[in-house]
A and B are shown apart, each in its own frame.
Chain A
């Protein structure tokens, strides 16, 4: 099983629709989970940290399911500007010192007018 897996898509979604992505991770000791957004030829930009209790930021909602080892991202009322690649990222160890991130391959989202 790969460390972090995502469906690469592309997801073609009409403007205004709701879209959901999942990401599974293999290291049960991982403690930190993130969603990043990456536009073409740009750097990853933090979208959300993901907490056990779930968190919401405007149209975006992230959830963590530790038992099944997956995180999810829900985008409501999608906008054309949401078109991007969405990367999930998981820390590599269970705390204790600076820790690199392992990224999924990213899910490519295309919002269509």
Chain B
């Protein structure tokens, strides 16, 4: 089972709203990732969590705030977003953060529209 789940599937929010994206995996993976994908572009890395600790932040604006409450859950808190933040937000997980060729499995994504 290589399932990563994400909720919600679709989200529409105003620029003054606060919302959260949720990602969950029950494969015992110890690394989790957030990527952003704009239309007709490849996924771009935002954050990496390794053993529930933030290990990589790709200079993402502070209006995006990640959180890893436990080894199975990853959240992305959104506040004061801009219309250009509209994109598909993908969560991924991988088994062993220090394991070399570590395969990442992606969730179905949350399609975010900021009005």
Would you call B82 an interface residue if the criterion is a C-beta within 8 Å of the partner chain's C-beta atoms?
A: no
Residue in A41, A45, A98 whose CB lies within 8 Å of B106:
A45
Bound together, the chains give a CA A41 to CA B56 distance in angstroms of 27
From A8, which residue of chain B is reached at the shortest CB distance? Answer: B40
Closest A residue to B34 using CB positions: A100
1/0 per residue B91-115: CB within 8 Å of A?
A: 0001001101111111111010000
For A49, list chain B residues within 8 Å (CB).
101, 103
Bitwise, A15-48 to B at CB < 8 A (1) or not (0) is: 0000000000000000111101000011111100
The residues of B that contact A98 with a CB separation of less than 8 Å are 30-31, 33, 48-50, 55-56, 94, 97-98, 102
A96 touches B103 (CB 8 A): no
Say how far A42's CB is from chain B's closest CB, in angstroms.
7
Question: B residues within 8 A CB of A45?
Answer: 106
* Size range of the chain B interface in the assembly: 20 to 34
B41's nearest neighbour on chain A, judged by CB, is: A105
Q: Which residues B22-76 have CB closer than 8 A to chain A?
A: 30-31, 33, 41-45, 48-50, 55-56, 58
Which residues from B are CB-within-8-Å of A102? 45
Min CB distance A101 to B, Å, is 6
A32 near B42: Cβ-Cβ < 8 Å: no
Cα A84 to Cα B62 in complex, Å, equals: 34
Contact B42 A96 (CB under 8 A): no
Q: A43-B106, A43-B108, A43-B109 are in contact. Are A100 and B101 (CB under 8 A)?
A: no
Q: Which residues of B contact A101 (CB under 8 A)?
A: 43, 45, 104
Bound: A89/B88 CA distance, A: 18
Interface residues of B (CB under 8 A from A): 2, 30-31, 33, 41-45, 48-50, 55-56, 58, 88, 90, 94, 97-98, 100-109, 111
Question: Which A positions have Cβ atoms within 8 angstroms of B?
Answer: 31-34, 36, 41-46, 49, 51, 87, 91-92, 95-106
For the complex of A and B, list the 5 residue pairs with the smallest distance between their C-beta atoms, beginning with the closest.
A98-B97, A103-B42, A100-B45, A98-B31, A98-B50
